[in-house]
């Protein structure tokens, strides 16, 4: 630790020099070591005491840099969740109305319905990846209008009030028949949303947009 630094020509520290006495470029030697090639010595370097000394010196010098680079730096817990919470706060929720009584309205967010559908789809044999999204387009606008400004109990409950439209994008296993897997998804998701949430009318759009081999895990 207290060894004096190797000196280059004219007694200056090595890194103050541009070349070694043999003509070797100091920057290129430092690059060689820093890129992990310090022991890959070419024909000249194998014979040259100046190059060998410089490569050894730079190797010792660069060790703490390599160690720092290899040190794990875990992300703070909650970073990913904080990012997603902020993104979700900017996206307006679409609501499905389940029931309206004198006591008030029971609603469920469309994104919750999509998450339930997605998690259900992931359990279906043959499904490797499943992603879900909230209702989009004209159905979303209609569902929203059914719940806004509502005044009369039961008036908004009907086809729109209890209808959900869910889009699922899935990747399936190569050998499983995609069409059958998609049908199974639709059937199971519809049952799950009816049983767990009380949604009576559910449309499930399944897009199979990737096929993964067994070794793609």
Partner 1 sequence: MMAAAQATQPAVGDAYLVGRAQEGYLDAYELLVQRHSGMAYRVALRLTGNHHDAQDVAQEALIAAWENLPRFRSGSSFPTWLYQIVTRRALNKVSRGRPVSSLDLLPALADPAAEPATQTERNLAVDAVTDALLALPFPQRAVIVLHHFEGLSYAEIASVTGSTEPAVRSHLFRARRALGTKLEEWR
Nearest to 164 by CA among 194, 185, 184, 187: 194
In the complex with partner 1, the residue whose CB is nearer, 61 or 105, is 61
**Rounded least distance, CB 159 to partner 1, Å:** 24
In the complex with partner 1, the residue whose CB is nearer, 70 or 148, is 70
In the complex with partner 1, the residue whose CB is nearer, 42 or 119, is 119
In the complex with partner 1, the residue whose CB is nearer, 159 or 212, is 212
**Rounded least distance, CB 73 to partner 1, Å:** 4
Residues lying near partner 1 in the complex (CB under 8 A): 1-3, 5, 13-16, 27, 30-31, 34, 58, 61-65, 67-69, 71, 73-76, 79-80, 82-84, 86-88, 91, 111, 114-115, 118-119, 122, 128-129, 131-134, 136, 167, 169, 171, 209-210, 212, 216-217
**Rounded least distance, CB 100 to partner 1, Å:** 27
> b/e for 125-137, b at 16 or more Cβ within 10 A?
ebbbebebbbbee
In the complex with partner 1, the residue whose CB is nearer, 33 or 48, is 33
Cα–Cα distances (Å) from 137 to 45, 143, 158, 165, 166, in that order, read 68, 10, 19, 10, 12
| Euclidean distance between CA atoms 9 and 54, whole angstroms | 12
Query: Is the CA virtual torsion 30, 35, 36, 39 positive or negative?
Result: negative
| Euclidean distance between CA atoms 37 and 31, whole angstroms | 8
């Amino acid at each position: 630790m207290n060894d004096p630094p190797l000196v280059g020509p004219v007694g200056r520290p090595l890194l103050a020099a541009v070349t070694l006495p043999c003509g070797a470029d100091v920057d290129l030697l430092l690059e060689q070591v820093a890129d992990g090639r310090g022991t890959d010595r070419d024909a000249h370097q194998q014979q040259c005491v100046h190059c060998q000394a410089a490569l050894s010196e730079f190797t010792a010098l660069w060790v703490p840099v390599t160690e720092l680079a290899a040190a794990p730096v875990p992300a703070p817990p909650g970073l990913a969740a904080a990012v997603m919470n902020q993104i979700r706060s900017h996206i307006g929720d679409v609501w499905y109305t389940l029931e309206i009584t004198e006591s008030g309205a029971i609603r469920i967010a469309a994104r919750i319905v999509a998450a339930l559908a997605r998690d259900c789809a992931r359990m279906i044999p043959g499904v490797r990846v499943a992603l879900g999204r909230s209702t989009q387009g004209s159905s979303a606008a209609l569902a929203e209008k059914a719940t806004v400004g509502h005044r009369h109990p039961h008036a908004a409950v009907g086809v729109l009030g209890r209808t959900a439209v869910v889009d699922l994008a899935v990747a399936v296993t190569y050998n499983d028949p995609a069409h059958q897997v998609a049908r199974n998804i639709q059937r199971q998701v519809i049952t799950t949303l009816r049983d767990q949430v009380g949604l009576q009318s559910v449309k499930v759009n399944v897009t199979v947009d990737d096929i993964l081999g067994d070794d793609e895990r």
